[in-house]
Amino acid sequence: MELMGNAIVGQSGGPTAAINATLCGVIRGMLAHAPSHRLFGMRNGIQGFLEGRMIDLTARFTLDDGKTPDESALRALTHTPAASLGSCRKKLPSLDDAAGEETYARLIELFRSRDIHTFFYIGGNDSMDTVAKLSAYTQRVGYPMVVIGVPKTIDNDLEGTDHTPGFGSAAKYVATTLQEIILDCSVYTIPAVTIVEIMGRDAGWLTAASAIGRVTGGLAPDLVYLPERPFSMDAFMKDVRAALTRHPGVVIAVSEGIRFEDGTPVGASVQSGGQATDVFGHSALAGAGKALEFAVKDAIGCKVRSVELNLPQRCAGHLLSAVDIDESLHVGEAAVTAAAAGKSDIMMTIRRRSTEPYVAIISHAPVAEIANQVRHVPEGYINAEGNNVTDECCRYLAPLIVGETRPEWVSGLRGFFRFD
Amino acid sequence: MELMGNAIVGQSGGPTAAINATLCGVIRGMLAHAPSHRLFGMRNGIQGFLEGRMIDLTARFTLDDGKTPDESALRALTHTPAASLGSCRKKLPSLDDAAGEETYARLIELFRSRDIHTFFYIGGNDSMDTVAKLSAYTQRVGYPMVVIGVPKTIDNDLEGTDHTPGFGSAAKYVATTLQEIILDCSVYTIPAVTIVEIMGRDAGWLTAASAIGRVTGGLAPDLVYLPERPFSMDAFMKDVRAALTRHPGVVIAVSEGIRFEDGTPVGASVQSGGQATDVFGHSALAGAGKALEFAVKDAIGCKVRSVELNLPQRCAGHLLSAVDIDESLHVGEAAVTAAAAGKSDIMMTIRRRSTEPYVAIISHAPVAEIANQVRHVPEGYINAEGNNVTDECCRYLAPLIVGETRPEWVSGLRGFFRFD
């Protein structure tokens, strides 16, 4: 149980509120299980690394003796949202592409210069593609390298894992914010429709999370639409009218990626003016929420408003799921023990043993089976009408948002970790 | 020190995250200082009251003996956002309007039926108008009535008070969320501009709060634009270009109400297509953030995004300022002691004695001097260029967001108070 040499870790893809907890897990794992080896961090993922930008994380997160963990810095890092090392969206070239050879050769040169033989990459779908390619290349050229992907994404759309680190905190933010919006929309007596647009282009997991309150005795939106089901404007208007007969403050959750039967995004196609251009003559489009706002205004005529939850869904470090942060940390730490055990070409995964009570273990799966795939919300988690999720879905999601963390607050604002 | 008879309390105007803390203060005040009198609550403010809809709050918030405060319910109410009694936007008719006589007569009839001689109204500008009119009418007809306004608004734009209950929590939400967005926008290396639109049509207080982190050693937006200064597109583009030379992830805070020199709202007028209509042919307009997003895309061509913070600014009950909740409670309680002392025609106010250390006391001012006025961000709180707030402004705002509350969480979601 020993690493071959030094290790490097990178963060890639969109930020989440838990991606630094996973980084913290990798650092803690290295300090605990491979104290004689150094851990480097890529600045801005594989892209910054190719430019030679890296940082000695072992030095940064230990006290002057170079061994004792700097608990204060590690705690701050755990609760800091967004990727502290910086991120990138770079995809490595295809292995069959001769023009890409230079990139790979440069990587090997950089690895060799720091005696790096373990590579951890924290990211989503595209990042697992990088992991798979790098693994294949190092094997082809005979460079000894352990390559391990560590999942993160608020989209919860990776195959091979019960759920993804980062999703639980985003889900808690969405479910909590939806309940607050529902309270806000219940204070007046005039009929009003509020449409909340939630992140998720292809998979509706995060939008589904808006309904968790239903199985925990709390508030949930009246209607929920996911991209997994084709969207029908007629059925939608019927649903909205029915909801308005039940109470005046109707709240609806929609995924940004909802599409009509023919595949057209709802955000792009609802229009009465002809062209899909905006006020300013741009072809950039209104989102699904805004499109439905105008459609309801036209068809029903009541007060309508749309709310796009936007960036805070993935970076609200003030509202973290304790279960998510705990798992995110452990997934990072387990990546180090897996590397020390000689496992490679894998992505760390979470396996659920039981939902009530919630029990999950950290495991792993071959990364080649996972990269470039999307895990959708299954049929059985959406109701027959396609206008809400099932209780079974809510029960699956509920354990992932349990528990609050106690991050540091300084003078009324969060105290974040930042590299110099 | 005794009330004349029973009392009634109502909530009016837009919800805030602290308006129920003030309601809680009024209830606690009545139980403590006027235990022999009942407190009624109007459902949906003066509008629901005119329909005879009210609730016995004394019964609802005491145990079976009718006297001992139900601490559990009161604690839950304190941390529940939005107006639990329901709200309205109704303005009372002018006293000179003969057609309004019927409304006032109906009010007196309702007051008499429950022996109500004290009237508490929790609200903003329009609500203080109701307080002033009701006070004048009851005096004219000789109905003995103590009328007291209790301020609430996230806009912080009421005259006569250092700041308004509800503003501190909204300011904490805005400042915290901006810092998280700044972290999110700092992970990539490509130049990108993120424009965050913050509530405030006429007064820029809440937008100013986005910069508080600057004086507490934390993160703050690069540029801040308030409605108090005319907006110049040329100066703005110059500011943005300059900010992009300093770092790639530029974050800008703008009030929804920013206007050009000639008074045109920025949201309404920036367009290249001619008409101020949207994609769908509606005359409803893009907000200021969206308008500037397209303007920057046109003029600079870098990646641009706009984020509208929207409803969560006023209803994020999961992120409350302890100072704000504490003051909101005390303002409600002090309204009862003021009523018992025979004060009337007043609005409760907060007077700041000192900023460092922060010391404030509860006081009151004649409501007639306050109603229908707007308190703007003063000249000295905005820098000479009009593209940011001054440190003095940040230091004024900083104490109002200090401290976190510990609201109840159940199964990962907030436990709210709700009337049946």
* A246, part of any domain: yes
Interface contact B317-A180, CB threshold 8 A: yes
pLDDT value of residue B389: 98
**Do the chains contact at A314 and B410, CB–CB below 8 Å?**
no
Quote the CA–CA distance of A6 and A141 in Å, as a whole number: 19
Residues 165-194 of B with CB under 8 A from A: 172, 175-177, 179-181, 183-189, 194
Q: How far is B378 from chain A (nearest CA, A)?
A: 24
Catalytic residue, chosen from B126, B129, B155, B324, is B155
Residue A99, pLDDT score: 85
Asked, for residue A69, whether it belongs to a domain, the answer is yes
Residue B311 pLDDT: 96
Contact A216 B277 (CB under 8 A): no
**In the numeric block, which tokens belong to residue A14?**
């969109």
Residues 6+ apart with CB under 8 A from B274: none
- Mean pLDDT, range B120-128, rounded to an integer: 93
Domain ends where: B312, B343, B363? B312
Taking CB atoms and an 8 Å limit, are B177 and A312 in contact across chains? yes
Q: Which domain holds residue B207?
A: 170-312
Q: Which of residues 381-400 of A touch B (CB under 8 A)?
A: 398
The predicted pLDDT at position B285 comes to: 52
The reported pTM is 0.96
pLDDT score of A280 more than 60? no
**Between B142 and A271, residue with greater pLDDT:** B142
Instruction: For residue A268, count other CB atoms closer than 10 A to its CB.
Output: 18
Mean pLDDT of all residues in A5-22 = 97
Q: Are residues A104 and A16 in the same domain?
A: yes
Judgement on whether residues A302 and A326 belong to the same structural domain of the protein: no
Q: Assess whether pLDDT exceeds 80 at residue B281.
A: no
Per residue in A341-388, pLDDT tens?
Answer: 999 999 999 999 999 999 999 999 999 888 788 999 999 999 999 999
Count residue pairs from A and B with Cβ separation < 8 A: 242
Tell whether A65 and A130 lie within a shared domain.
yes
B157 and B226 housed in the same domain: no
What mean pLDDT do residues A300-304 have?
95
B-chain residues within 8 Å CB-CB of A310?
307-308
B-chain CB neighbours of A187 within 8 Å are 11, 15, 44, 82-83, 86-87
Mean pLDDT computed over A127-135: 94
> Is A213 near chain B, with CB under 8 Å?
yes
- Inform me whether the C-beta atom of residue B67 falls under 8 Å from chain A C-beta atoms: no
* Residues of chain B found within 8 Å of residue A176, distances taken between Cβ atoms: 318, 413-414
B175-221 pLDDT tens trace: 999 999 999 999 999 999 999 999 999 999 999 999 999 998 889 99
Q: Does A83 touch chain B (CB under 8 A)?
A: yes
Cα A53 to Cα A5, A26, A82, B191, distances in angstroms:
20, 19, 19, 18
Mean pLDDT of chain A, nearest integer? 93
Residues of B in contact with A311 (CB under 8 A): 180-181, 184-185, 194, 305, 307
Q: Do A212 and B412 touch (CB under 8 A)?
A: yes
What pLDDT, on a 0 to 100 scale, did the predictor assign at position A273?
40
Question: Do residues A71 and A219 share a domain?
Answer: no
Instruction: Answer yes or no: do B138 and B188 share one domain.
Output: no
- Cα-Cα-Cα-Cα torsion A197, A201, A204, A210, nearest 10 degrees, comes to -20
From the list A184, A281, A414, which residue is nearest B311 (CB)? A184
Q: How far A286 CA lies from chain B's nearest CA (Å)?
A: 8
| Nearest chain B CA: its distance from A139 CA (Å) | 30
Q: Min CA distance, B310 vs chain A (Å)?
A: 6
Q: Å from A395 to nearest chain B CA?
A: 11
Beta pairing, strands B359-366 & B346-354: antiparallel
- Residues of B within 8 A of A315 (CB-CB) are 180-181, 183-184
Q: Residue B283's pLDDT is what?
A: 39
Q: Measured between CB atoms, does A74 come within 8 Å of chain B?
A: no
Domain at A326, CATH number: 3.40.50.450
pLDDT of amino acid A125? 86
Q: Is the peptide bond before B248 cis (omega within 30 degrees of 0)?
A: no
| Residue of chain A minimizing CA distance to B415 | A218
pLDDT tens across B130-181, in order?
999 999 999 999 999 999 999 999 999 999 999 999 999 999 999 999 999 9
Residue of A nearest to B169 (CA): A412
Lowest mean pLDDT, pick from A102-106, B88-92, B275-279, B288-292: B275-279
Q: What are phi and psi of B218, to 5 degrees?
A: -110, -155
pLDDT: which is higher, B284 or A232: A232
Could you tell me the pLDDT band of residue B248, with boundaries at 50, 70 and 90? very high
Q: Is A39 inside a domain boundary?
A: yes
Residue B390 lies in a domain: no
Say how far apart CA A266 and CA A288 lie, in whole Å.
5
Same domain (yes/no): A140, A228: no
CATH number of the domain enclosing B174 = 3.40.50.460
Is A5 near chain B, with CB under 8 Å?
A: no
pLDDT at B279 > cutoff 70: no
Residues 6+ apart with CB under 8 A from B122: B9, B10, B11, B12, B19, B22, B23, B26, B150, B151, B152, B332
**CB-CB under 8 Å, A316 with B187:** no
What's the one-letter identity of residue B270? Answer: V
Catalytic member of A126, A129, A155, A326 = A155
Judge whether B145 lies within some domain: yes
What does the mean pLDDT of chain B come to? Answer: 93
* A64 flagged as catalytic: no
Same-domain status, B36 and B125: yes
A20 CB within 8 Å of a chain B CB: no
What is the pLDDT averaged over residues B392-405?
97
* Chain A closest-CA separation from residue B342 CA (Å): 31
Bridge partners of B363, per DSSP, are B349
Q: Residue A272: is its pLDDT beyond 50?
A: no
Query: Is there a single domain that holds both residue B43 and residue B159?
Result: yes
Q: What is the pLDDT, as a whole number, of residue A285?
A: 52
Residue B141, token pair as written in the block: 């007809």
Average pLDDT over residues A122-139: 93
At residue B99, the pLDDT reads 86
Alpha-carbon gap: B357 to the closest alpha carbon of chain A (Å): 12
Q: Are residues A189 and A151 in the same domain?
A: no
Flag whether A409 is in a domain: no
Last residue of a domain, one of A298, A313, A328: A313
**What per-residue confidence (pLDDT) applies to A98?**
87
Domain check: are A22 and A161 in the same one?
Answer: yes
- B81 and A183 in contact by Cβ < 8 A? yes
- Token pair for B227: 């409605």
Alpha-carbon distances of B355 from A410, B331, B360, B389, B394, rounded to whole Å: 17, 19, 9, 18, 11
Spatial neighbors of A55 by CB under 8 A, at least 6 apart, are: A40, A41, A43, A85, A419
Q: Comparing A322-336, B281-295, B386-400, which segment has the lowest mean pLDDT?
A: B281-295
Query: How near does any CA of chain A get to the CA of B184, in Å?
Result: 5
CB of A88 within 8 Å of a chain B CB? The answer is yes
pLDDT at residue A292 tops 80: yes
CA B2 to chain centre: 31
- Give the pLDDT mean for A29-45: 97
Among chain A residues, the shortest Cα distance to B277 is held by A279
Interface test with B, best of A180, A195, A296, A308 (most B CBs within 10 A): A180
Same domain, B139 and B277: no
Q: Are residues A413 and B318, on separate chains, in Cβ contact within 8 Å?
A: no
Q: What is the DSSP letter of A231?
A: B
| B357: contact with A, CB 8 A cutoff | no
Identify from B182, B187, B309, B326 which residue to disrupt to test chain A contact, counting A C-beta atoms within 10 A and taking the largest count.
Answer: B187
Domains of chain A: total: 2
pLDDT at residue A281 tops 50: no
* Residues from chain B contacting residue A317 (CB–CB below 8 Å): 180, 183
Is residue A278 scored above 60 in pLDDT?
Answer: no
| A51 and B CB contact within 8 Å | no
- Residue to test with chain A: of B279, B292, B355, B408, most A Cβ within 10 A: B279
Sheet with B192-198: list strands edge to edge. B223-225, B249-255, B192-198, B303-308
CA distance A263 to A259: 5
The answer to whether residue B10 is domain-embedded is: yes
User: Does a structural domain hold residue A418?
Assistant: no
Instruction: For residue B294, give the nearest of A282, A305, A307 by CB distance.
Output: A282
B74 — pLDDT class (breaks 50, 70, 90): very high
Task: Inform me whether the C-beta atom of residue A219 falls under 8 Å from chain B C-beta atoms.
Answer: yes
Cross-strand pairs, B349: B363
Separation in Å, CA of B95 to nearest CA in chain A: 26
Is the pLDDT score of B307 beyond 70?
yes
Of A43, A177, A184, which to mutate for an interface test with B (greatest number of B Cβ within 10 Å)? A184
Band of pLDDT at residue B280, cut at 50, 70 and 90: very low
Please check the confidence at residue A47 and state whether its pLDDT lies above 80: yes
| Model confidence pLDDT, tens digit, residues A63-98 | 999 999 999 999 999 999 999 999 999 999 999 888
Q: What pLDDT, on a 0 to 100 scale, did the predictor assign at position B370?
A: 85
* pLDDT of A135 strictly over 70: yes
DSSP of A119-180: EEEEESHHHHHHHHHHHHHHHHHT---EEEEEE--TT---TTSSS-TTHHHHHHHHHHHHHH
Here the tokens at position A103 are 């990139």
Looking at the partner chain, which of B86, B188, B273 has a beta carbon nearest the beta carbon of A280?
B273
* Interface contact flag, A180 B404, Cβ < 8 Å: no
pLDDT class of A1 with cuts at 50, 70, 90: low
Instruction: Choose among B212, B278, B415: nearest Cβ to A279.
Output: B278
Among A356, A374, A392, the domain boundary falls at A374
Is A212 in Cβ contact with B413 (below 8 Å)?
A: yes
State the average pLDDT over residues A163-170: 98
